[in-house]
A and B are shown apart, each in its own frame.
Chain A
Amino acid sequence: MTELDAGLVGEQIAESGQIAEPTGRGEIGRARRRKEDARLLTGHTRWTDNLQQPGMLQVMFLRSPMAHARITRVDVSAARDLPGVLAAFSGQDFADEQGSLPCAWPVSEDIVIPDHPPMAVSEVRYVGEAVACVVATDRYRAADALEAIEVDYEPLPAVMDMHDALTPDSPKVHESGNKAFSTTITSGDVEAAFRDAPVVIDRTYIQQRLIPSAMEPRAVLASTDGDTFTLWSSTQIPHVLRVMLAVTTGIPEHRLRVIAPDVGGGFGSKLQVTAEEVLCLLLTRRLGRPVKWSESRTEGNLTVHHGRDQIQHIRLAAEADGRIRGLRVELLADMGAYLMLVTPGVPMLGASMFNAIYKMDAYEFACTGVFTTKMPTDAYRGAGRPEATYAIERVMDELAAELGIDPLEARRRNWIRHDEFPYTTISGLTYDSGNYEAATDRAMALFGYDKLRAEQADRRDRGDPVQLGIGVSTYTEMCGLAPSRLLGMANYGAGGWEHGSVRMLPTGKVEVITGTSPHGQGHVTSWSQIAADALGVPFDDITVLHGDTAVAHKGMDTYGSRSLVIGGVAVLKACEKVKDKARKLAAHLLECSPDDLEFEAGAFKVRGTGASRTIQELAFAAFTAHDLPEGVEARLDSDATFDPDNYSFPHGTHLCAVEVDTETGMVKIRSYVAVDDVGKVVNPLIVEGQVHGGIAQGVAQALFEEAVYDADGNLLTATMADYLLPSAADLPAFTTDRTETPSTGNPLGVKGVGEAGTIASTPAVVNAVVDALRPRGVRDVQMPCTPERVWRAVQGTRGGVRS
C-alpha cells in the first residue's frame, strides 16, 4: 500500500477552494468551507482533556480483569497511603449514593432492566467494569496507586455465546436469567407467504461486535462550588445527560450544568450516560475539588459501549420471477452485561427496516435481547439500520443468484417505483419520497457496470487467480430521530423534537442557538447558511452557540441523523419568527401595513416605493426600543421547536468492485461508486465528507474491524494493533454523486446524511466479495472478510459457507 500522495491532497484542497466560491445568491446549496476548521486545525481547541480548573485532581479507575466474578474483598488502603493520593474508593463506598445507570428504552412488556451500579459493588459482569478508583494530584501517581489496590474475586462462569446463554442450564449473567426481552412484530399473513413459495432463501448472518473509535477518547471533568455542579464531558448529548444525571445522582437539575466542549467524534459511542460521568460528579461532591478523568485507548476499547453484535436468521419467500412474497427475521441481539441508555432499542431501530425498499405481502420481525458477560452494546453509527440493511441486501443478492438473474434486476422487480410515493411499507412506515431508479441508473453509469461484468466473465473464463466481484447495495434508512408521537408509541423515555433560537444583536450580527450538539458534523457552518438565507444577513455575521445547557437551554442533542432534519428546521422556524416580528416593526416605522412589505435581500421594502428598512436597522431599533409598535417587546429574538410528523428516508445505490486474490484471500477494493439521495443539500462539501467517512466506516466493518473476546471473556482486541482500523491508505478513492428528491416532511426538503454511507457500504462490499467467489461455491464469508476467512472460504473450510 502506498503513502498518501501529498500532491494529490494538495490538488484536492485547491479544488475544494474553488467550489467554495459563490455560485449564486443563496447560501443553501453552497459548498462553504467549515467555519469550525481554522480553529480546529490550528490547535485552538478545547477538548475536555485540555481543560484545567484550579485545584483539579485526576481520577483513575481500577477495572475488573475478570469477565464474571463475585467481589469478596477490596482493599484500597495501601493506595491511599501513597504520595500524591488524596482518596481511593471501592464500589462499597458509593453503594448508597451511586444509583443505577439508566436505560431509557424499555422496548417490551417482558423486559428485564437489571440494576447497573456505576461502580461494581458485589459482582462484576464484564472485563473492564470499574471496581475501585483513585484520586491523585496527577495521572502518574494515580496510575501507580491503582497497582496498590487489592481485590479478591471469586470467579463465576463467563457467558459468551448467545445461543448457549439461552439454554436452560446456562450460567446466569443476572439472577433473572439471560433473556433481556423478546418481541415479535407481524404484518400480513406470513404463513401464507411461505406456504408453497416457489423460492425460499434461508440464511444466517453474523453482525460482528464493533468498537466505536472516535478520534477523541472520552474525558470527563466535574467541579462544584458547593452549591452548583458543572460537568464537562466529551459527549454527544449534554441535554439528555443533564436530565439523566440529575435523576441518577439526585443533584437537582437546576443546580447542574453540563457542557460538551469541543468533541472529537462520537458515532453513537458518546450517546450514553457513563459510569465515569456519574462517578466524577459523586467524587467532586464528596471531595469538594474538581476532578478529571481521561481514558486511555485500551480503557476505551474495553469500556466504550460496543456496537452491532447480532445473529440474524433471515428467511425470504419469493415467486419464481423473483417477486418477494414475505420476509421473516429472527434476531438474537447481544446486550452485553447490562442495558445502557438505548441498548435494547438498537435492534428495534432496525425492526421496520429489514423490508427496506421492497414491496411484499407479509413480514415478521422477532428479536430476543440476550445478556452476556461482555461490555454492553448500544448505538453505533446507524444503530440497528446497518444491521437490517446488511441482512436484506445480502439476501437480495442470494435471491438473484438462486434465480440466475442480475442482482440489480432482482431489486428492480421488487422496489417501490418513484411514482408510488408516498408509500406505506409492510412494516407500517410511510416513505415520503424517493427515486430508486434514478439513483441506480446514475450509479451504474458512473461505475461502468456492464464493462466490469464483462471483465468479471473474462477473469472467470481464464481462471485468473485474482477474481473480480461486484457488490450492490440499494439501501434506504430511517433518519431524523424522531417524531415524539412515534417515540411515545415505541415506549422511548423522551421526545424527539429540537430547539433553535435566534438573537439579533444591536449591531446587526446574529447569534443562533441550537439544541443539537455537533461533534464534527459542521453544524456551525450549515446552520449559518440556513440563517443567512432566511434572514438575509451575511454568512460571516452569524455565530452558532451549542453544547452548553446554560447557553442552549433546551435540546435533544445529536444522533440518528437528526440534527439537520429537526434541529436545522428549528433554526429556520426561529428565523421565520424573528422575521415576523421584524415585519411588524418595519411596518410601524415605515407607516404601512405589514402586508405591503416584501422581504428581499435582508430588507423589508414597501411595495411600489423606495422606502425600506434592513433587518440590521430593525435589530437596532428593537434594541433602543424608542419607538415600538403596540404589543411588540424589545429585541429581535425568538425561540422555536420543531417536532416532525414522520421520519425521513434517504436512499441510494452503492456499487463496489473488489479484486479477490484467491491464493492469499486478500480483498482489494478496486472501485466504489455511491449515489446518495439525501434530499435537498445545505452544504455539499459537508455532505461529501459525511458520505466519505460513512463509507470508510462501513467498509471497515466489512473488511477490518472485529471486537474479539476469548472464551473466558477477555477482550483480545484492546489495542489498535489488534483492533484494525483502516486509514486513508487502505481505502480507494470513492466516486460520489447525488440525486435529489426533496423530503416532503420538512420545509428545507432535507433527509439527513450522517449514517447513509455506513449503512449502505457494508453489504455492498461483502456482496462483492461473495460475488467474486460464487462460481467456486461460496455463498457467504463472515465479517470482517479477513484474508484468512476468504482463503478458508475458497478452501471450503471454516470461515465461509459453501452451498
Chain B
Amino acid sequence: MIPARFDYLRAGSLEEACQALASDEDAKVLAGGQSLLPLLRLRLSYPTTLVDIGRLPGLSGVEDRGDHVHIGAMTTHDEVMRSPVVTAACPLVAMATATVADPAVRHRGTFGGSLAHGDPAGDLPAVVLALDGVFVARSARGERDIPAAEFFVDYLESSLRPGEILAGVRIPKLGEGWGYHYEKFHRTAQAWAIVGVAAAVKRSNGAIQEARVGLTNMGSTPLRARAVEAALRGVEVGEQVRPACEAAAEGTSPPADLHAQPDYRRHLAKVLTYRAIGKAAGAP
C-alpha cells in the first residue's frame, strides 16, 4: 500500500481522539481500516491525520442491557457474529454480519466502521435501519443519540458531526414471536451485495402482524421498504406475501454499475424481499 503522506495518532483516550478530530477537519478516524485503507491505497482519500481508536477501552464489546443490546463501535464483525448475546437477542445482526466479505476482513473490520462509513452497499446499515437502532455519538461536548432513520444522510455520508466519534449502537430487542432473515444477492462469496434485504417478521396465528424490511444497495443510503411493511400487515403467510412484496422497489433509486442496472436491481428487490419475508416468517 502506497498512500499519500499522513500523520498517525494512536489516541490514549476518547477525549484525546475527539480533540484531535475537532481541531482538524481533514483528520479521520481509523477503526479496522477495511474501507479506509483501500481508499488511501488508491489515493482517493487524503486525510491529514489518522486517529487510531483501536486501543481505546470501552469502545469494544457486546452488552445485554435488558431492553436492548449495546454493540461497541470497535467490536469486530467476527466478534459480533459469534456473540451469544447478539445471536440470541438480535440474530438479524449476526446473520448479516456473517455474509460480510471473508474471514480476514471480518477479523479486522468493525461494526461501527461499517456504519460510520455509510456505504449503502454495506450489509449492516440496512439491518440497523430495519431494527431501529440508536447510534451513540461521542464528542468533546458529550454524548448524543441519533436514531437510525436520521443517521444515514447520503452516499458515504452520515450525520456524525466533525469531531464526533461513533461509540456504539443500541439495538432494541423486539421480543417474542419475531423471525429474521438477511437475503444477500452477490456474485462471489467475497463480493458486496448487488441487492440485500434485511427482514424481521412478527407472526401470530399464521398471519404477519408486523414486518420490518431494510434494503441494501437500493439507493444512496440504506432504505426501509415502508410500502411493503404496510402491505404485509395482517397478510397470511404464503402466496399472499408475493403481491405485497411487489412494492419493494417503491421510492428507491438504485445505482447503475458493472454488476447491475437499476431496473434489474428493482426486480431483484421484489424477488429477494419475498424470499426474505418467507424465510423470516418461517414459511415452508
Contact = CB atoms under 8 A, between A and B. Distances in A.
Interface of A: 1-3, 139-140, 143-144, 147, 296, 298, 663-664, 666, 704, 708, 716-717, 719, 721-722, 724-727, 729-730, 786-788, 791-792
Contacts of A787: 185, 187, 194, 260
Nearest to A666: B185
A618 to B, nearest CB: 54
Contacts of A727: 188-190
A663 B185 CA distance: 12
**Smallest CB-CB A-B distances: 6 pairs:** A729-B189, A1-B189, A143-B2, A730-B188, A788-B264, A663-B271
A786 B192 CA distance: 15
A786 B2 contact: no
Nearest to B260: A788
B261 A788 contact: yes
A786 to B, nearest CB: 7
A730 B189 CA distance: 6
Given A664-B271, A717-B258, A719-B42, A786 B187 contact: yes
B188 A139 contact: no
Nearest to A729: B189
B259 interface: yes
Contact of B258 (A1, A716, A726, A791): A716
Contacts of A666: 185
Given A663-B271, A787-B185, 20 more contacts: A2-B189, A3-B102, A3-B103, A143-B4, A144-B4, A147-B4, A296-B2, A664-B185, A664-B272, A704-B188, A717-B258, A721-B191, A724-B188, A727-B188, A727-B189, A729-B189, A730-B188, A786-B187, A787-B194, A788-B260
Contacts of A791: 264, 267
A704 B187 contact: yes
A99 B192 CA distance: 45
Interface string B119-136: 000000000000000000
Contacts of B198: none
B276 interface: no
Nearest to B98: A3
Interface string B189-217: 11110100000000000000000000000
B137 interface: no
Contacts of A730: 188-189
B45 to A, nearest CB: 14
A298 B42 contact: yes
Contacts of A708: 258
Given A719-B42, A724-B188, A791-B267, A139 B261 contact: no
Interface string B40-77: 01110000000000000000000000000000000000
B237 interface: no
A1, A2, A722 — which one has the most chain B CB atoms within 10 A of its CB? A1
A786 B5 contact: no
Interface in B91-105: 102-103
10 contacts: A1-B189, A3-B189, A143-B2, A298-B42, A663-B271, A716-B258, A719-B42, A727-B189, A786-B259, A791-B267
Contacts of B89: none
Contact of A726 (B4, B103, B188, B267): B188
A139, A140, A144, A787 — which one has the most chain B CB atoms within 10 A of its CB? A787
A717 to B, nearest CB: 7
A671 to B, nearest CB: 19
Contacts of B192: 721
Nearest to B270: A663
Interface in B23-53: 41-43
What's the dominant secondary structure at chain A's contact region? Answer: loop
B268 interface: yes
Nearest to B192: A721
A697 B258 CA distance: 21
Contacts of A298: 42
A144 B190 contact: no
Interface of B: 2, 4-5, 41-43, 102-103, 185, 187-192, 194, 258-261, 264, 267-268, 271-272
A490 B42 CA distance: 44
Nearest to A795: B267
Contacts of B43: 143
A292 to B, nearest CB: 14
A664 B187 CA distance: 11
A140 B1 CA distance: 9
B69 to A, nearest CB: 25
Contacts of A716: 258
A2 to B, nearest CB: 8
A664 B189 contact: no
Contacts of B187: 704, 724, 786-787
Nearest to B274: A663
A140 B261 contact: no
Contacts of A143: 2, 4, 43
Contact of B268 (A664, A721, A722): A664
A788 B195 CA distance: 12
B2 to A, nearest CB: 4
Contacts of A729: 188-190
Contact of A144 (B5, B41, B191, B271): B5
A113 B268 CA distance: 48
B74 to A, nearest CB: 24
A726 B43 CA distance: 26
Contacts of A724: 187-188, 191
A792 B260 CA distance: 11
Nearest to A140: B2
Nearest to B5: A144
A139 B2 contact: yes
Nearest to B1: A296
Contacts of A139: 2
Nearest to B187: A724
A792 B263 CA distance: 11
Nearest to A667: B187
Nearest to A143: B2
Contacts of B190: 727, 729
A666 B191 CA distance: 14
Contacts of A722: 258
B137 to A, nearest CB: 29
Contacts of B272: 664
B121 to A, nearest CB: 10
B242 to A, nearest CB: 11
A298, A666, A719, A788 — which one has the most chain B CB atoms within 10 A of its CB? A788
B189 A788 contact: no
A370 B261 CA distance: 30
A243 B98 CA distance: 53
A296 B272 CA distance: 37
Contacts of B102: 3
Contacts of A786: 187, 259
A716 B259 CA distance: 11
B43, B190, B261 — which one has the most chain A CB atoms within 10 A of its CB? B190
A704 B272 CA distance: 21
Nearest to B272: A664
Contacts of A296: 2, 41
A1 B267 CA distance: 22
A666 B272 CA distance: 12
A157 B267 CA distance: 37
A481 to B, nearest CB: 33
A660 to B, nearest CB: 14
A144 B267 CA distance: 45
Contacts of A663: 271
Nearest to B103: A3
Nearest to A717: B258
A730 B5 CA distance: 38
A717 B258 CA distance: 8
A412 B5 CA distance: 65
A147 to B, nearest CB: 8
A79 to B, nearest CB: 15
Contacts of B103: 3
A724 B192 CA distance: 11
Nearest to A798: B261
